[in-house]
Structure 1
Amino acid sequence: MTAPLGVILAGGRASRMGGGDKSLRPLAGRRVIDHVLERLRPQVAHMALSANGDPARFESLDLPVIADSMAEFPGPLAGVLAGMDWAADQGAEHILTVAADTPFFPADLQARLADAREAAGVPIALAATPGPDRIYRHPTFGLWPVALREDLRRALTGGLRKVVLWTDQHGCAEALFSVDPHDPFFNINRPEDLAQAEAMA
């Protein structure tokens, strides 16, 4: 498989952080988004940011900023669709999505997702971590085939919002990542999370 294009999902409204862009908050001397870019860049051919609102606030990143084509913040699948549309314009076959507020995701995310997808013989792969009673999927960390974009568009237009309901219709592998010594998918939702991330960094 050729290297996918990377799409950073930053479409959330950050209500628990008091609004604004979580990814632009400072963390260990840089912004949260800078940590995300550093981890994603070696894993993909090119990158874009999926975000709504004025794209000028991300001008310093020197990345394409792609907005949802669906109205009223229908959730992360709208960002996945926007990423698929952007990738299709460039002739790419897959996108790798990551969340903009998760600065410690695995450096081998793309490779592990690709291996899981190929081993299972399915089109989609999502990251997962073990919990005390079940496996937890992380639906914003996925490897997605651009060929399914029109199916996803129809599903969103029809009102579907839950990521796993759509992925399970098509076949979805899980790549299981360890949470030792810490959860690599720890995300920054609240001010206290930012303090914890500072300690982890």
Structure 2
Amino acid sequence: MRALMVATLAVAAAVGLAGCGQDTAAPAGEKPATETAPSETPSQTATKPPENPEPPEQPKPPSETSAPVSLSPTGVVVPAGVTKVPTAQVDSSALPVYYEHRGEVWEFDGGRSLQLFAAASSGCTDAEAVVLDQSAADIRIMLRPLPRPPGGRPDSGGACTAQVTPRPVVVTLDAPLADRTIYLAIGR
């Protein structure tokens, strides 16, 4: 008896699911809703090319939102349009000796943006640079690691390494760098 009831329910469910989403009945004399009558001839439906076509998008120059300089296994990769700031113009004496790329700063966007590498405290954390002060003579920038986000970085792919990791950071200046001295320090 139980087997008969289960079989009956299975057949009823199969019939019900087979008919889901099918509405084949249309009132007499009308076409089903899925069919549409052509309203225009093919020559009328062709689209015309735009009067003033837009030129293809040109590559954008580096901006404050992206760090143009990157690291590769063989060293620092500096793209065109980015210039390394002379070492004599950068005071990195307040940075610890373990800082990779200590005192290396690059300028772009007409000297209004600076990029350098800050030290994150692990492979799962990030770092930032903050302009503390800028004057006609100098610029003071603080580099600091950011705390580890709960659960780690989404792109870390697993366990976090407990090692100092260089992260690219960018700051935007009020005026072009010119010959001003850059003072770098760390903070929390």
TM-score bracket relative to the smaller structure? under 0.3
Question: Relative contact order (alpha carbons < 8 A, sep ≥ 6): 1 or 2 greater?
Answer: 1
Higher helix share: 1
After TM superposition, the score normalised by the length of structure 1 is 0.25
Higher strand share: 2
After TM superposition, the score normalised by the length of structure 2 is 0.26
Instruction: Give the structure with higher Rg (CA).
Output: 2
